[in-house]
Structure 1
Amino acid sequence: MFPNLTLHYFIVPGKRSTIGRGENIKLLLEDAGIEHEYVRHHLDKETWPEKKKALEESGYYAATLPYIEIESQKFGQTVPIMRYICNKLGKYMATNDEDAQYLDALSDISYDWHKKINQTYFSSLEVRQAHEAGDMVRYLEMFEKVYSDREGPYILGEEITYPDFLIYHLIDDEQQNKKLEAYPNLNKFVRFFEERSNIKKYLATL
């Protein structure tokens, strides 16, 4: 179904290897048991402009990362990639239009959260602390309510869906995995997510 799949994403200098949008796709691939190669590209002024130009010349419309490549065909943008994989698998998606809209909305909100985190990657300690006291708490409180709606552990209840991967990774990017005492539903979600068989094996390699 996914012959010779390759995932491409940046290595961000001075940051954890899992930081950023590529890890969402990586987590999904691992959970689904899809064989793949993970190619990392240095995000620096010396090499990235040349790689970006090469992507443009190859005809890849977005010329940015992450993207996946399957038999020379490139697919771009994090959430569309994840939906493509999920649709192919017939898994990780809603089973009715109302839940589908809900998942789409949450994935959009998750991107808003990511943009807030992204602004702190190379910022001062003061900016990071202001984020942790403001936007981070706001999103944690919002998703605490989301995960309380269906009694969890996942957004739609017992079945995991693609936005669960997005939310888990945002919590991980914030390094809050083990600091969720004030958010019992998120804490339950993270514990269940990290105990998924393939995810547990993958996390042990980091």
Structure 2
Amino acid sequence: MEKITLYYFLVKNKATLALGENIKLLLEDAAIEHEYVRLTLDETWDNKKVQFIEEGLYSGTLPYIEVGGKKFGRTIPIMRYISVKLGNKYHGTNDEENQLLDCVADITNDWFESMKWAFIDSDKNMENHAKVGTPKFLTIFERYYSVQKGPYILGNKISYPDFLVYHLLDDDKALNSLANYPNLQNLAQSFVERPNIKKYLATLSQ
């Protein structure tokens, strides 16, 4: 693929927090040349949002990517688009597998929304999410990851929802709390050992 420019917010001054990191992880794993532009939620954002809408990014939301002079928005559709451009590299091999991937990806939206509003609203809601929300979604995804013998949702082949699930485990501070979720633990351990991912993660601790 041509070089990709990824645009997203810098959330709470943490480089890896929230939706943009899903795409970043995919780009790193695929070894695609890219630039990551981080925007801030300040007084200039309203003007930037109007500009994005005028340029065809009609939702006026981030993340989005720019490639070949064209803009593409929304996290999961971006990841699907990149996979298709790479010959369905991160898709399944048939309609049934792809329906499963779509289903898992759709549920990650529910998890993200639950976590997002808990973190925005109050400490009490964050505590409730940790006690109720996090275990709820860990249980759901543990079921999905129990079907195949390999570490990923499709077994030994990684696909785009695996990036979403891994990153939610990270954002929800659940990576060190997977003792009762062996399949998700297997996913997390295998994911961080992927050569390009391992190399990228090492840069975050420098």
TM over 0.5: yes
| Aligned-pair CA distance for 1:140 | 0.1
Aligned-partner residue type, residue 84 of structure 1: Y
| Aligned-pair CA distance for 1:71 | 2.4
- Between the aligned partners of 2:130 and 2:149, the Cα distance in structure 1 is 27
1:190 has 2:188 as partner: yes
Counterpart residue number, 2:85: 88
Give 3-state SS (helix, strand or coil) of 2:72's partner. Answer: strand
- Between the aligned partners of 1:60 and 1:78, the Cα distance in structure 2 is 13
- Between the aligned partners of 1:4 and 1:186, the Cα distance in structure 2 is 32
Counterpart residue number, 2:54: 57
Matched ranges for 1:21-170 at <5 A: 21-44=19-42, 46-90=43-87, 91-170=89-168
Moved over 3 A (4+): none
- Between the aligned partners of 1:135 and 1:168, the Cα distance in structure 2 is 16
| Aligned-pair CA distance for 1:4 | 2.8
Aligned-partner residue type, residue 7 of structure 1: L
Mind listing any 5+ residue stretches in structure 2 that lack a counterpart?
A: none
- Between the aligned partners of 1:58 and 1:25, the Cα distance in structure 2 is 21
| Aligned-pair CA distance for 1:123 | 2.7
Aligned-partner residue type, residue 181 of structure 1: A
Give 3-state SS (helix, strand or coil) of 1:176's partner. Answer: coil
- Between the aligned partners of 1:35 and 1:175, the Cα distance in structure 2 is 29
| Aligned-pair CA distance for 1:136 | 1.0
User: What is the root-mean-square deviation of aligned Cα atoms in Å?
Assistant: 1.1
Mind listing any 5+ residue stretches in structure 1 that lack a counterpart?
A: none
| Aligned-pair CA distance for 1:127 | 0.8
- Between the aligned partners of 2:100 and 2:16, the Cα distance in structure 1 is 27
Give 3-state SS (helix, strand or coil) of 2:180's partner. Answer: coil
| Aligned-pair CA distance for 1:163 | 0.4
Query: Number of paired residues?
Result: 203
Give 3-state SS (helix, strand or coil) of 1:60's partner. Answer: coil
| Aligned-pair CA distance for 1:19 | 1.2
Aligned-partner residue type, residue 102 of structure 1: L
- Between the aligned partners of 1:139 and 1:81, the Cα distance in structure 2 is 23
Contact 2:119/2:125 (<8 A) preserved: no
- Between the aligned partners of 2:161 and 2:153, the Cα distance in structure 1 is 8
TM-score by length of 2: 0.95
Contact 2:3/2:32 (<8 A) preserved: no
TM-score by length of 1: 0.95
Offset from partner CA, 1:139-191 (integer Å, 9 cap, x none): 00111111111012000100000000010011011011122111111111100
Aligned-partner residue type, residue 88 of structure 1: K
Give 3-state SS (helix, strand or coil) of 1:87's partner. Answer: helix
Give 3-state SS (helix, strand or coil) of 1:119's partner. Answer: helix
1:11 has 2:21 as partner: no
Give 3-state SS (helix, strand or coil) of 2:121's partner. Answer: coil
- Between the aligned partners of 2:68 and 2:58, the Cα distance in structure 1 is 17
- Between the aligned partners of 1:158 and 1:197, the Cα distance in structure 2 is 15
